[in-house]
């Protein structure tokens, strides 16, 4: 069951957010920038102490104001991590920097607003996936600037020492599908893996 954490909780990241604003005052940013807008980021965290605070720090450092957190302890992702949904607000021109800062800290961003990761594609990898360091393969795909690993499943009917296959479901930025496929293709070529790519419009 999800554990909601309000902006006035122990994180202290939403201090002063409840102050009333007069109807005739435009709640624009103090520096004269655009009015803060709400955003949602969905993260995938390792189940270790301090990981949540590590994820929240880049948000605060880049001008984000924490609104709420849903820490889904009972819902484990395919990679054995915990999904966390963070609602925040910030000026529109700072949201991109917040997402980039999270990724630079090694935080896996599953989704960052619907319009940012609005497309999905499914790929198959075939080959000696375990022998070529499967964890490294997945980590490098996650580091892609245009995609996030949304789901993963491994099939090794003959055992992990033989040829196996993996199904990857990637969430990509709008118009970022080709770049994501190219990233997977490059990694696969380096490790002598076969990529079964999705059919595109107009394919036979």
* pTM, to two decimals: 0.48
pLDDT digits (tens, 9 = 90+) for 15-66: 333 333 334 434 444 444 578 888 888 888 888 888 888 899 999 999 999 8
Instruction: Write the class of the CATH domain 3-112.
Output: alpha beta
Q: Which of 122, 123, 128 is nearest to 191 (CA)?
A: 128
Average pLDDT over residues 74-95: 82
Encode 129-146: b = buried (16+ Cβ within 10 Å), e = exposed. bbebebeebbebbbebeb
- Residues 94 and 41: beta-carbon distance below 8 Å: no
Return the CATH number of 119-196, one of 3.30.70.260, 1.10.1840.10, 1.20.1080.10, 3.20.20.70.
Answer: 3.30.70.260
C-alpha pair distances (Å), 38 with each of 67, 99, 124: 9, 14, 36
Task: Name the β-bridge partners of 68.
Answer: 6, 87
Local confidence band at 72 (pLDDT 50, 70, 90 cut-offs): low
Instruction: Write out the residue limits of the CATH 3.30.70.260 domain(s) in the chain.
Output: 3-112, 119-196
């Amino acid at each position: 069951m999800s554990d909601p954490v309000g902006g006035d909780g122990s994180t202290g990241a939403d201090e002063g957010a409840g102050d009333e604003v007069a109807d005739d005052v435009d709640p624009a940013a103090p520096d004269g920038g655009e009015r803060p807008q709400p955003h949602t980021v969905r993260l995938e965290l390792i189940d270790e102490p301090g990981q949540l605070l590590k994820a929240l720090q880049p948000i605060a450092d880049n001008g984000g104001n924490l609104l709420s957190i849903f820490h889904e302890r009972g819902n484990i992702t395919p990679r054995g991590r915990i999904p966390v949904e963070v609602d925040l607000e910030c000026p529109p021109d700072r949201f991109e920097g917040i997402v980039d800062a999270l990724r630079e800290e090694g935080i896996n961003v599953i989704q960052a607003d619907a319009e940012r990761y609005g497309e999905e594609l499914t790929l198959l990898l075939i080959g000696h996936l375990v022998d070529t360091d499967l964890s490294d393969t997945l980590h490098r795909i996650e580091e892609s600037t245009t995609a996030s690993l949304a789901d993963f499943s491994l099939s090794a009917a003959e055992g992990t020492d033989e040829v196996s296959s993996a199904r990857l479901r990637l969430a990509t930025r709008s118009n970022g599908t080709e770049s994501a496929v190219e990233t997977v293709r490059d990694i696969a070529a380096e490790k002598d893996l076969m990529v079964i790519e999705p059919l595109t419009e107009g394919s036979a």
